[in-house]
Amino acid sequence: DRDATLANLNIAESVSDFAKAEVVVEAVPENFELKTKIFGELEKVVSDRTLLATNTSSLSVTKLSSAVQRKDRFLGMHFFNPAPIMKLVELVSAEGTSDQALVDARAVCAKLDKTAVKVKDSPGFIGNRVNRPFYLEALTLLEQGEADVPAIDTAMRNVGGFRMGPFELLDL
């Protein structure tokens, strides 16, 4: 229910508000400098046991880990859009990520009723690399006048079994 969900949310107004967090999943735009700045600031206030995760879908998790000293507690947790609906989370180790951090991340995913899969730190991981042709073909159909946006999205939802069409996903 909406009220119960809202009651579980904590609004952070500053980095210090994360001091007691057990898990922090960063989900800002795909900007390396912004992400590393955030992790550098977070590490100053969180405990040694805090799991720091990036939701990046395209940046190197190992390169992002350069912003932290405690690399053993740093990893990628790539949630798919729309996150409340999609069950898949790609877990990505950085160089230095501990086995315990992966165990802890899997436990977080399980609590969120998500399916975690371990993937290598490579551009686009698995999901986005597989989905690129899907988006490209949808754009090609539109450009060639073969179908309009609503028809393509409807076809992929109803025939393809996707929860959202390619243009709905691109709009997120």
The CATH number assigned to the domain with range 127-170 reads 1.10.1040.10
**84 vs 97: CA distance, rounded Å:** 26
Write the CA distances from 135 to 22, 151, 160, integer angstroms: 36, 14, 13
Give the neighbor-by-neighbor strand order of the sheet with 23-26: 23-26, 51-54, 74-79, 88-93, 115-119
Q: Which residue has the tokens 């939802």?
A: 157
User: Has 167 been annotated as catalytic?
Assistant: no
Q: What is the pLDDT of residues 32-81, one digit of tens each?
A: 999 999 999 999 999 999 999 999 999 999 999 999 999 999 999 999 98
The CATH number assigned to the domain with range 2-119 reads 3.40.50.720
Write the CA distances from 171 to 81, 82, 91, integer angstroms: 10, 11, 25
Provide the residue ranges of all domains of the chain, joining segments of one domain with +. 2-119, 127-170
Percent of the chain with pLDDT over 90: 74
Q: Which of 35, 71, 78, 106 is catalytic?
A: 78
- The answer, yes or no, to whether residue 28 has pLDDT greater than 90, is yes
Please give the pLDDT value at position 3.
85
Q: What is the pLDDT of residues 101-132, one digit of tens each?
A: 999 999 999 999 999 999 999 988 998 888 88
